[in-house]
Structure 1
Amino acid sequence: MDFRITEDRAALVDSVRDYLAGVHGVERLRALDADGSARSDELRQGLTEMGLRGLLVPEAQGGLGLSLVDAALIAVELGRAAVAEPLVDGAFVAVPLLIAAGGQEALLGAIATGDAQVALQHPVNGWVADFDGATHLIADRDGRLLLDAASARGVALDSVDPLRRLNAPVAAKGDDIGASDALLDHAALFAAAQGVGLAEAMLAQATDYAKVRTQFGQPIGSFQAVKHHLASAAVAIEFARPLLLRAALALEQGLASAPVHVSHAKLAAADLAWSVGEAAIQVHGAMGYTYEVDLHFWMKRAWALAGAWGDRAFHLARIDAAVIGGSLPIGPAHSFA
């Protein structure tokens, strides 16, 4: 079994990373925060032109027809750049649900071209992200998915993340497009993917700072205590990435164990982003607690996503139920089943 990322996938990830590094640096983040828009028309258009809105849309509807693994890898890069544009919900989560529902070819094509934006609503969340700019809403109601034209508008809510735009849930009135089981799992998967990217970015910022901040005449990165913090963070990232890819592949293949793999990935990514953020603050010292330090954009996104699509207790309970209940055998003999 070959677990390596293929050259084509690596090239796609690199191209997205390079693009985001050029157009979505910390200067852009601070500008979006300062003007209150939290969104960039330039970035939205760029993501569309790169084909990322149609990444999972079938080729027949004008998309690229790629896989959930590809989308998960791109979501990592979106987290690394702290992109707040609702690409993940509207394209990576919504599209597989619409494909499974069938009969949504026109909407899929509109998503690929950027003419449609889908928001998501689930009882596990007390909010709907980016509902104010959505043309459609997919809502979970009593275990069924409803596709609404998003005619109603919820009350705006505040978020710990200044670049997240949230609304209160609304009463959806749409067409029944199937069972809702997949909504939570797809959304939690991509929240986990962004968490891994956020952790990678925070580790990079802490490492760069440790190289230039001096104490007692030498860079603080030379001190063993700082090295241990950063090394532990790097190891945690390497442990979380395989869990994310396993969950993406299990979900794509429709395995019965997919939900627990998603919960494992979400739990690992949330814990990872939280702990790396904490270590990065410690490396920055007292100034790490100030909003003038760029780290806060990534750290606050990590806090917001930690409670999105099921908090730590929710996903830990799913894992406990599967392992203790016996539906997910553990041990070396079952690792690669």
Structure 2
Amino acid sequence: MDFIITEDQATLTTGVRDYLADVHTPELLRALDTSDSRRSADVWQGLVEMGLPGLLVPEEQGGLGLSLLDAVLIAAELGRAGVAEPIADTALVAAPLLAKADGQDALLTAIAAGEAKVALQHPANPWVADLDGASHLLSVNDGALLLADHSGTAKLLDSVDPLRRLYAPVAPSGTGVGPADALLDHAALIAAAQLVGLADAMLEQATDYAKNRSQFGQPIGSFQAVKHHLATAVVKIEFAKPVIQRAAVALAEGAASASVHVSHAKLAAADAAWAMGETAIQTHGAMGYTYEVDLHFWMKRAWALAGAWGDRAFHLGRIDAAVISGALPIGPGHSFA
């Protein structure tokens, strides 16, 4: 597979990155953290004006009609900026699933316009993010993916990430719109992409601090121990990126091995983000754990997403089952199958 980023993809991701860097700052995160809703109507409107809700909505319904490979690149930018708004669940998970279902043109048009938000619920993910602001709910029951209008309230739960609004599950209901596995795989893939973006952001914060913090008359980044720790984390991050892209292509093409590739991506991304979080804390020294350091917003989001849409044991189990059963042959002769 050729995963070289095209000129159009580079232009898109750079534009999203620059926009988010201007508006979704650490100062905004701190303001959201002290607000009641943890959400900003102005931020959501800015995302809509950027066209992000319609990224994967077909052009016939007012979207951009981009691919799942484009989606993981944008999801990484959402992670890099620590975006709190529920744009990923609606635009990058729900939209491509609904685009494959019949009779969802009106909802897809509303999603592209930023007028509809879709919350996601699956047995493997024992909480529902941003259910309070959702107009629709995609849920799973008896192996089927169900879509229903949503109204009412649910119990708000605590999260390690203060900017994630998590709710207790509600009874699944609605009209069947696809297979249940599709929701888990798409959501796990987008979570993996966000984890890599979070890791990149923590790497940038750690390296900036290492360049500016001096000890014994020189920047701590010049010390071999610091450089080696950062380099080890960078390797994990860079090795995770093509794994995520491979999973996106496999899922988009409906490959039989797509679920295994998604599990591989989730594991690689979670490991990279976890390692980068630890390294970033250590690089910041004793103050790395404190609320005063912006790092904690990205670190807590990484902790939350690492356990979302299948934890480490779940995805290792899927990979183990595929390898042991022979469904995913391994070895040099199968590396590029």
User: Could you say which TM-score interval applies, normalised by the shorter chain?
Assistant: over 0.9
Q: Contact conserved, 1:72 with 1:245, CA < 8 A, in 2?
A: yes
- 1:79 and 2:106 equivalent? no
Q: Contact conserved, 2:121 with 2:140, CA < 8 A, in 1?
A: yes
Instruction: Report deviation, 1:304.
Output: 0.3
Moved more, 308-317 or 27-36: 27-36
Give the equivalent residue in structure 2 for 1:99. Answer: 99
Give the equivalent residue in structure 2 for 1:187. Answer: 187
Q: Contact conserved, 2:155 with 2:168, CA < 8 A, in 1?
A: yes
> What runs of 5+ residues in structure 1 fail to find an aligned partner?
none
Instruction: Report deviation, 1:40.
Output: 1.5
Give the equivalent residue in structure 2 for 1:67. Answer: 67
Give the equivalent residue in structure 2 for 1:285. Answer: 285
Match for 1:133: what amino acid?
A: G
Matches within 5 A, 1:51-200: 51-200=51-200
Matches within 5 A, 1:30-49: 30-49=30-49
Instruction: Report deviation, 1:271.
Output: 1.0
Instruction: Report deviation, 1:153.
Output: 2.2
Q: Contact conserved, 2:139 with 2:173, CA < 8 A, in 1?
A: no
Q: Distance in 2 between matches of 1:181 and 1:233?
A: 31
Q: Distance in 2 between matches of 1:99 and 1:106?
A: 11
> What runs of 5+ residues in structure 2 fail to find an aligned partner?
none
* CA 283–323 in structure 1, closer or farther in 2 if over 3 Å, else same: same
Q: Cα deviations across residues 240-283 of structure 1 (Å, max 9, x unaligned)?
A: 00000000010001000100000000011111111110010001
Q: Distance in 2 between matches of 1:228 and 1:81?
A: 26
SS at match of 2:119: strand
Give the equivalent residue in structure 1 for 2:229. Answer: 229
Give the equivalent residue in structure 2 for 1:50. Answer: 50
Give the equivalent residue in structure 1 for 2:19. Answer: 19
Q: Distance in 2 between matches of 1:6 and 1:13?
A: 11
Q: Distance in 1 between matches of 2:156 and 2:71?
A: 29
Q: Contact conserved, 2:236 with 2:271, CA < 8 A, in 1?
A: no
Match for 1:50: what amino acid?
A: M
Q: Distance in 1 between matches of 2:325 and 2:208?
A: 45
Match for 1:98: what amino acid?
A: L
Q: Distance in 2 between matches of 1:100 and 1:62?
A: 16
Instruction: Report deviation, 1:335.
Output: 2.2
Q: Distance in 1 between matches of 2:102 and 2:312?
A: 33
Q: Cα deviations across residues 87-141 of structure 1 (Å, max 9, x unaligned)?
A: 1101110012112222100000000001111000001122100000000000011
Q: Distance in 2 between matches of 1:257 and 1:152?
A: 39
- The number of residues matched between the two structures is 337
Instruction: Report deviation, 1:330.
Output: 1.6
Give the equivalent residue in structure 1 for 2:271. Answer: 271
Between the aligned residues of both structures, percent identity stands at 73
Q: Contact conserved, 1:153 with 1:170, CA < 8 A, in 2?
A: no
Q: Distance in 1 between matches of 2:153 and 2:170?
A: 7
Q: Cα deviations across residues 22-62 of structure 1 (Å, max 9, x unaligned)?
A: 00010111111122322111211111111110000000000
Q: Contact conserved, 1:152 with 1:170, CA < 8 A, in 2?
A: no
* CA 18–56 in structure 1, closer or farther in 2 if over 3 Å, else same: same
Moved more, 139-148 or 326-335: 326-335
